[in-house]
Chains A and B, each alone.
Chain A
Amino acid sequence: MKTALKLASFLGLSLTVVPAFLVFAGTITWTTHATLMALGAVLWFVTAPFWMPHDAPV
Chain B
Amino acid sequence: MDNEIYRLPRERLDSLIERLARDYRVVGPVKQGATWMWTDVRPGMPLALDYPTTMLPPRQFFAPMRETLFRYHRGDDGRFAFEEPAGERPFALLGVHGCDLTALRVLRAFHESSCRDRLVPGRLDRSFVMGLACWTPCLPESFCRDMGSLESESPASLYVWDIGGVLLVKVQTARGREIMRDVGALDAATPDELVALRKRLRTRPEAFPAQLQFAPEKLATSLKAAESDILWEATADRCLSCGRCNLVCPTCTCFDVGDQASLSGGDGTRTRSWTGCQVPGFSRVAGGHDFRPGRAQQLRYRIFRKGKYMPERYGMVGCTGCGRCATHCPTHISIREIFLQVGRAP
Partners in one complex: no
Interface of B toward A, CB cutoff 8 Å: none
Interface of A toward B, CB cutoff 8 Å: none
